[in-house]
Amino acid sequence: MKKLTAAALCWTCLWAQPPAAPEGEDLALRTALSEAGSSAVDFIRALEQHLERFPETAKRAELERALAKAALDAKDRDRIVRYGERALRRDPDDLHLLERVARALLETDDAAAAERALRYARRYQETVDTMRRQDAPGRVPAGEWQDELDRGAARALLLQARASGVTGKAAEAVSLARSAYEMYPSAEAAREIARWLIRQGREWEAVEHLADAFTLADPKNTEADRLRDRQRMGALFSKAKGGEQGLGDLVLRSFDRTSALLEARRQRARAADPNSGAREVLDFTLSGLTGGSLKLREMQGKVVVFDFWATWCGPCRIQHPLYEQVRRKFAGRPEVVFLSVNTDEDREAVEPFLRENGWQVAVYFEDGLSRALEISSIPTTVILDQQGKVFSRMNGFLPDRFVAMLTERIEDALRRR
């Protein structure tokens, strides 16, 4: 779910859905929002004043949802809770709001607020569990989708741990935080385990988890976070041992442990999806229409011409015979490889399409490659040089010039060393 900024919440967005507002209210909102500009704070003020002026507005639901999103941008805890809870009563499966409202409620040690947060965290987990039973949306790679679901489930467990701890259930909090860490290792989860172990008086056990938080390769772990972990870890270690001698060995063991844990996760992800973690074009493996797969790393040293197309794309049909003309020009040159890459979401439509149109070409599925190459329209032709780097890109095509242009660019790529 994309983050919605105050600047994006223009009056046209708010009035895009029925029911229509009375003309006077419509004009008032246009004026208020135009004066608010792109400031989240001014945007919130304008909408709140509008709701005070028009308390019976038929657009209250949209306006309060917009206020919840703007409160997130403004990091306004009280309004995140106030408007977020109202929005969740209307849309209880909004994952972004479920997490952010729960976190806001847990910023204090108020037990009643923690009970509400616990309900949202459990709803978050239920929603993620439902999503696990569904296919990945659009062209999102299976490995990336699984990774995001694991991350979401871990966040839900972590919020439940914090809420449980605040309500006085420290042992349950430790168990839930451990489950979050096992689901998706993070510095926050390791820190949460330590927090509730300390609350139980198990300070020496907490040292190991603070060391994990300190050493874990986590992009969300800031230097300020690591400094606090280091200070707390050192204090607890010194309290138990009378000094920091031996702490370095403990930290090294933690580093080895967390590194092995992350590597094991990467290996599991690759087993489920060979393109998990792929960043460079040659790191990808494409599945074939008739079975088998193609490791693009095997193409290094060749000029590779990718033709990205789809069965529903009319221009792709027009381009295909032109593309075949270029392919025939290089038929005797093994240093040039042409790859037909299908981008259809419905893969079952591809084979009947090829048969119906008489296309005699080996077809591979994009398997996340189109996202890595930022393919935003089709047909698109991408040429890699012999080092595996993008040499040229042709978005769309000019029928009168396509054959000559593509031929020239392939020859230029062959000359690059």
Residues with a catalytic annotation lie at 313, 316
Q: % helix / strand / coil in the chain, to the nearest 5? A: 60, 10, 30
Rounded CA separation 391/406 (Å): 12
Q: If you write DSSP's letter for every residue of 135-163 in order, what string do you get?
A: PPSTT--HHHHHHHHHHHHHHHHHHHHHH
Nearest to 188 by CA among 79, 103, 266: 103
Which pair of structure tokens corresponds to residue 232? 């707390």
Rounded CA separation 358/379 (Å): 19
Phi, psi torsion values for 235, nearest 5 degrees? -65, -45
203 in Cβ contact with 236 (< 8 Å): yes
Phi, psi torsion values for 88, nearest 5 degrees? -70, -25
Q: If you write DSSP's letter for every residue of 357-401 in order, what string do you get?
A: HT----EEE-TTHHHHTT--SSSEEEEE-TTS-EEEEEES--TTT
* C-alpha to C-alpha distances, 164 to 83, 95, 417, nearest whole angstrom: 24, 20, 62
Opening angle at CA 93, ends 59 and 190, nearest 5:
130
Rounded CA separation 237/3 (Å): 41
Q: What is the DSSP letter of 245?
A: T
Q: Which amino acid is at 202?
A: R
Which pair of structure tokens corresponds to residue 349? 């439509």
380-384/303-309 β-pairing: antiparallel
Rounded CA separation 113/360 (Å): 64
